[in-house]
Amino acid sequence: MTKDERPVIRGLATGVAGLDKILGGGLPEYSFNLVAGGPGSGKTTLAHQIVFANATPAKPALYFTVLGEPTLKMLRYQRQFSFFDTKVAGAAVKFINLTEEVSAGDLTKVLEKIVEEVERTKPGIVVVDSFRTIVSKLNGSENTSLFGLDRFIQRLALHLTSWEVTSFLLGEYSEEEQRNPVFTVADGVFWLSQATDRNSVVRKIQIVKVRGRAPMPGLHTFRITNDGVEIFPRIPEQTNTRVSQKRNRQSTGIPGLDEMTRGGVVSGDAVMLTGPAGSGKSTVATQFMVAGLKAGEAGVIAVFEEYPEDYLARAEARDADIGRMIRSGKLELIYLRPLDLSVDEALHEILKAVNRVKAKRVVIDSLSGFEVALAPTFREDFRESLYRLVGTLTATGVTVFMTAEVVEGFSDVRFTAERVSFITDELIIQRYIEMAGELQRVMAVIKMRGSDHSHELRTYEITPKGVTVGPALTRYDGIMTGVPSLRLNAAPGQRTDIVKAKPSVRPAKPAAAKRRK
């Protein structure tokens, strides 16, 4: 036999955002699945969402409820979700209460009732909520020991599969109970959990197994909103491939900075701008975005430190066009500040926005705010998570411009507070220096992978119209110490072209210099 006659296992679209992806391509049709997790972990919502995405009058869904959450209350709460379509519920979803059969304490009767309803309805999907209640109610009863739980589960699984039903058993299981026969028989095991860390709660899902598929490993965060469960896959597909593109230059919108970068930042690069508070990082980031918009490149700004309205008001004060850009759909401003955020969720939101507006530029303002917005559990591996986020975003071809706040003393030079400069292709720093008793701002391009760039330290000013870069401080030494001194061989006349903005620069005392000599 030369022809490949393996049966094709079709993937059922679950209707749950992100779930098909972590399952390795949808749910195997006619599989027998266990959805396990503690109370409130989202099992019932997940099951309803799958049911409503797949039930049709021709292939309806059967939803068996047992003791535990009363059906009436379940319906009352579940119908708050946007996916709960009353028309579908009326025509294609049938809720059946098994309380009486379970109360009788006879597994045979429970099985018979399920089989009877399946044969009568010929459903495409069957849910038993909660299967754990059936088992705990029957445990220890004479009938259970005679019939055997293993055998019951096997017969149920076989029966449902032979009727070409994709089924879900929901149950409150703990991780120690994985030796339970239901875990062995199940084709798929979805584990839902809620991790509490300090004051934040993070929901996670793990696909423990899916027969016939290669699920995405690891714990994936998810959120339950009015639209139901939304899963944020841990390893986005995009990390494996990268959009190939020409390394064009993109203007930063600041002529002086474009000079320093030899024509602008490189498209598709991850650029980081670091500096202390008030150094103008957000201003530069906004100018970078506006320059792109004016060149016809759509963009996304993710803000973490201030409300979008405030951010927009400040940005519009400098450039009135920015609000118009948002209204025209060229720019999307997204606000991510829930304090229980996961990096994967942030990435997901940014990617969605990138795809919506077909962005070429993304601004993340700032990494410091982003780190604070994360649930504590994700702050521990912030560097690794950021590495994935940046890698995934740049793989799509967008240029990512990030800002990061550094806390520095005048003699302490650090390129980034988060020690994440290694993930960037281009690094620009801003800092304060003291000249003649006044604070001055300087910036420098530290690195540009695969590209030449200026090595100058240049002063800059923040004006009502944005950042303006001044000339290089070529006549000064010790700028990075924060307290520069004029070179001894600098001609007196050269002083004024050094710092035009602040002409009162005090040169080093000639007498002291002589003494040192």
Partner 1 sequence: MATAQVTARELAKRLVDRETSTGASKTTRASAAALAGEGLYRALSRWIGSDGCHALFTRARAQEQPANRALESLQLSPRHDPYITGVEESIEEYGNDATADALESMIVGMIELLGRLIGVDMATSLIERSLSEFAQDNSGSEKRRAKA
Q: Which is nearer to partner 1, 69 or 408 (CB)?
A: 69
**CA 83/CA 65 separation, integer angstroms:** 20
Q: Which is nearer to partner 1, 87 or 179 (CB)?
A: 87
**CA 89/CA 329 separation, integer angstroms:** 37
Query: Given phi > 0 = left and psi -120 to 50 = alpha, else beta, which region is 25?
Result: left
Q: Which is nearer to partner 1, 80 or 489 (CB)?
A: 80
Q: Considering the complex, what minimum distance in angstroms separates the CB of residue 395 from partner 1?
A: 45
Q: Considering the complex, what minimum distance in angstroms separates the CB of residue 63 from partner 1?
A: 9
CA distances from 238 to 21, 348, 393, 425, 471 (A): 12, 11, 8, 18, 41
Q: Considering the complex, what minimum distance in angstroms separates the CB of residue 32 from partner 1?
A: 24
Contacts for 466-469: CB closer than 8 Å, 24+ residues apart:
466/253, 466/254, 466/283, 466/286, 466/287, 466/318, 466/319, 467/254, 467/257, 467/280, 467/283, 467/284, 467/287, 468/254, 468/256, 469/254, 469/255, 469/256, 469/257, 469/259, 469/260, 469/443
Helix residue ranges per DSSP H, 262-362: 281-294, 308-318, 321-327, 343-357
Q: Which is nearer to partner 1, 95 or 183 (CB)?
A: 95
Q: Which is nearer to partner 1, 112 or 150 (CB)?
A: 112
For the four alpha carbons of 472, 478, 484 and 488, in that order, the dihedral sign comes to negative
Q: Considering the complex, what minimum distance in angstroms separates the CB of residue 65 from partner 1?
A: 7
- Residue for token digits 């879900």? 168
Asked if 431 and 395 count as a contact pair (C-beta separation under 8 A), the reply is no
Three-class DSSP category at 343: helix
Q: Considering the complex, what minimum distance in angstroms separates the CB of residue 121 from partner 1?
A: 10
**CA 354/CA 401 separation, integer angstroms:** 14
* DSSP one-letter code for 17: B
**CA 398/CA 362 separation, integer angstroms:** 7
Q: Which is nearer to partner 1, 59 or 337 (CB)?
A: 59
Q: Which is nearer to partner 1, 85 or 321 (CB)?
A: 85
Q: Considering the complex, what minimum distance in angstroms separates the CB of residue 75 from partner 1?
A: 5
Q: Which is nearer to partner 1, 90 or 255 (CB)?
A: 90
Q: Which is nearer to partner 1, 103 or 196 (CB)?
A: 103
Q: Name every residue whose Cβ is closer than 8 Å to that of residue 8 and which is 6 or more positions away in sequence.
A: none
Q: Which is nearer to partner 1, 79 or 249 (CB)?
A: 79
The strand ranges marked E within 16-102 are: 27-28, 32-37, 61-65, 93-97
Q: Considering the complex, what minimum distance in angstroms separates the CB of residue 98 from partner 1?
A: 9
Angle, in degrees to the nearest 10, between helices 131-138 and 107-121: 150
| Cis bond upstream, residue 130 (ω within 30) | yes
**CA 261/CA 291 separation, integer angstroms:** 15
The β-bridge partners of 204 are: 193, 221
Q: Which is nearer to partner 1, 79 or 502 (CB)?
A: 79
Three-class DSSP category at 171: strand
Q: Considering the complex, what minimum distance in angstroms separates the CB of residue 79 from partner 1?
A: 6
Q: Which is nearer to partner 1, 85 or 349 (CB)?
A: 85
The β-bridge partners of 486 are: 476
Q: Which tokens in the block code for residue 115? A: 């089989």
Q: Considering the complex, what minimum distance in angstroms separates the CB of residue 72 from partner 1?
A: 4
Asked if 159 and 167 count as a contact pair (C-beta separation under 8 A), the reply is no
Q: What is the CA radius of gyration of the chain?
A: 31
Q: Would you tell me how many other CB atoms lie within 10 Å of the CB of residue 489?
A: 7
Q: Considering the complex, what minimum distance in angstroms separates the CB of residue 70 from partner 1?
A: 5
Q: Considering the complex, what minimum distance in angstroms separates the CB of residue 76 from partner 1?
A: 5
Q: Which is nearer to partner 1, 39 or 90 (CB)?
A: 90
Q: Considering the complex, what minimum distance in angstroms separates the CB of residue 117 from partner 1?
A: 9
Contacts with partner 1, residue ranges (CB under 8 A) = 65, 70-72, 75-76, 79, 86-87, 89-91, 94-97, 99-100
Q: Considering the complex, what minimum distance in angstroms separates the CB of residue 133 from partner 1?
A: 12
Instruction: Report which secondary-structure segment, H or E, holds 196.
Output: strand 188-197
